[in-house]
A and B are shown apart, each in its own frame.
Chain A
Amino acid sequence: MADLRLPGTLTPLFPGLTRHVEVEAANVLGAIDELEQRWPGLRDRLVAEGPSLRSHIHVYVDGERAGLDTPVEERSRLDVIAAISGG
Chain B
Amino acid sequence: MPKTMLTVATRKGTFIVESDDRRDWKLRGPYCEGWPCYHAIYDPTTGEIYTAAASEWHGTTVWRSADLGETWEMSSEGLTYGDEDGRKVSKASTLARAGDRLLVGVEAPGIFESRDNGRTWSLLSTLSGQHGSEEWDDPANQPPGHLGISGFVTDPGDADRFFAIVQGVGAFETEDGGSSWTPRNKGLRRDWPADYEDVGFCVHKLVRSAEPQRMYQQNHVGMHRSDDAGQSWNEITEGLPGDFGFAAAAHPHDKETFYVIPVDGGHGRTMHDGKAAVWRTRDGGSSWQDLRKGLPQENAHLGVLRQAMTIDKHDTPGVYFGTSTGQVFASADEGETWSEIASYLPSISSVDVVVLD
Contacts and interface: CB of A to CB of B under 8 A. Distances in A.
Contacts of B87: 49
B82 interface: yes
Interface of B: 33, 55-59, 61, 74-77, 79-83, 85, 87-89
Given A13-B33, A41-B77, A49 B82 contact: yes
Interface stretch (A19-27, A69-77, A79-87): A79-87
Interface residues of A, number: 22
Interface of A: 7, 9-10, 12-13, 40-41, 44-46, 48-51, 54-57, 82-83, 85-86
A6 to B, nearest CB: 11
| Main DSSP-derived SS at the B contact region | loop
A20 B341 CA distance: 43
Contacts of A56: 56-57
A9 B57 CA distance: 9
Contacts, number: 53
A34 B87 CA distance: 26
Contacts of A50: 83
Nearest to B90: A48
A45 B55 CA distance: 9
A55 B55 CA distance: 11
A83 B82 contact: no
A65 B75 CA distance: 29
B57 A83 contact: yes
A49 B33 contact: no
A86 B76 contact: no
Nearest to A51: B83
A41 B61 CA distance: 10
B299 to A, nearest CB: 24
Contact of A54 (B33, B58, B81, B85): B58
Contacts of B55: 9
Contacts of A7: 57
Given A48-B59, A57-B58, 11 more contacts: A7-B57, A9-B58, A13-B74, A41-B75, A41-B76, A44-B76, A45-B58, A45-B59, A49-B81, A54-B59, A56-B57
